[in-house]
Amino acid sequence: MKKWSKILALTLSAAMLVCSFAACTNTGGGTDESNNGAQAQAMPAVAKADLKIGVIHITDPAEGSGFTYAQDQGIEEMKKNLGLEDSQIIRKINISDTDAAATRTAIEECIEEGCQVIFGTSYNYMNVMKELADKYPDVIFSHCSGNINNGKNMNNYFGAIYEARYLTGIAAGMKTESNKIGFVAAMGVENSEVTGGINAFTLGVKSVNPEAQVYVKVTGQWYDPTAEAQAAQALLDMGCDVIAQHCDSAVPQTTAQDAGKWGCGYNSDMTEQAPNGHLTAPIWHWGVYYTKAVQQVIDGTWTATNYFGGLGDGLVDISPLNTAVAAPGTQEKIDEARAQIEAGTLKVFAGPLKDNQGTEKVAAGSEMSVEDITQHFTWYVEGVVADA
């Protein structure tokens, strides 16, 4: 998200089934002072007409693509689904998630404006949200990604974006001609969210093209179009002919297209920005969570229960395959893998898995837990060339 903070373009397919909130709960994720809210008491109901919702964004959704745009599309979907008014959504934009004072001010402004619910959409808002959740026990704090849940009025929400990453890896693996695929990463191997995404993408690539390698360039920022362009260009100069990304702008995609190459975006469908290069992107349908959570606030059934959704409940997906660009047969391979993931017969991080130094990390017959995937994934799988 985020950022680990970070994501999604968002009209749900009618074919998708939305699971119950409890069924999508992350029972393996880390928490603080609670057992994922299992024993938490429900917060009091808020009448829909009185409800105000604060949303803290790291950038501006008006950018039209990327993480914040996708998050805000989910907020808009929730507003439409529940029949809320524009005036009931209080947005704070361009709030740096590394500036605790700015984060604190933005959240407290929302509370002063009457918000009973605050959604923090970037990972590094977490500690300030925990501090303010303790200070304002009557306000609900819901944090994207992270691992803090106080068992009272703060939870976290995220999803199995690695399932969608795997599918986009198939598209990349079938498209590459050089067997060199670049990946522009916001953070390094120490960041489990980014690392898990790179690994899932690589495993998808390898499932259809065992000879391909994924080369990683780290920018150190969630959103830095200049650094993203430089990283993408460096990867292209190395001979990479498909550029994937875990960063916020569409610049890696436009850089690849300008070079006559291809790419897989992230967070939202970036085909509009790079129609001749973009293959597909892992995307988020945040409206699935926001609709469910806010309805629970209205009903008086919201508890500090963590949420972790996947392909099966529609929280994550991939954007429509650009068939004008993709290799023949790509859609069929993606559909096959999707069906297996949704049926539970394909586990993205099931063993045997080795790291990129050849050391076995997950034995045959075992699989990684959600907690390990989202919090302790600090190694790259075979096929990843780090800091290329």
DSSP letter string over 153-205? SEEEEEE-HHHHHHHHHHHHHHH-SSSEEEEEESS-TT-HHHHHHHHHHHHHH
Predicted pLDDT at 228: 98
The torsion region of residue 91 among left (phi > 0), alpha (psi -120 to 50) and beta comes to: beta
Phi and psi angles of residue 90, each rounded to the nearest 5 degrees, phi first: -110, 110
Of all residues in the chain, the percent with pLDDT exceeding 70 is 90
386 three-state secondary structure: coil
| All residues at 6 or more sequence positions from 370 whose CB lies less than 8 Å from its CB, including other chains | 26, 27, 28, 29, 160, 308
How far is residue 259's CA from residue 353's CA, in Å, rounded to a whole number? 34
Tokens 């361009």, located at residue:
94
Predicted confidence (pLDDT) at residue 26 exceeds the cutoff of 90: no
- The rounded Cα 96 to chain-centroid distance in angstroms is 18
Q: Model's pTM, two decimal places?
A: 0.86
And the tokens for 292? 């469910």
Of all residues in the chain, the percent with pLDDT exceeding 90 is 85
Identify whether the C-beta of residue 305 lies closer than 8 Å to the C-beta of residue 40: yes
Q: How confident is the model at residue 387 (pLDDT cuts 50, 70, 90)?
A: confident
Q: Per DSSP, what are the bridge partners of residue 157?
A: 144, 307
Tokens 């996947």, located at residue:
310
How far is residue 103's CA from residue 109's CA, in Å, rounded to a whole number? 10
Q: What is the mean pLDDT of residues 178-189?
A: 97
Identify whether the C-beta of residue 228 lies closer than 8 Å to the C-beta of residue 219: yes
| All residues at 6 or more sequence positions from 199 whose CB lies less than 8 Å from its CB, including other chains | 162, 349, 377, 380, 381, 384
Task: Give the model confidence (pLDDT) of 216-268 as tens digits.
Answer: 999 999 889 999 999 999 999 999 999 999 998 999 999 999 999 999 999 99
Q: What is the mean pLDDT of residues 277-301?
A: 98
Predicted pLDDT at 39: 62
DSSP letter string over 323-380? TTTSPTTHHHHHHHHHHHHHHTS--TTBSSEEBTTS-EEE-TT-B--HHHHHHS--SP
Task: Give the model confidence (pLDDT) of 99-110 as tens digits.
Answer: 999 999 999 999
For residue 294, the one-letter residue type is: V
How far is residue 240's CA from residue 252's CA, in Å, rounded to a whole number? 12
Task: Give the model confidence (pLDDT) of 68-123 as tens digits.
Answer: 999 999 999 999 999 999 999 999 999 999 999 999 999 999 999 999 999 999 98
Give ∠ CA 182-180-378 in degrees, rounded to 5. 50
Give ∠ CA 316-327-65 in degrees, rounded to 5. 40
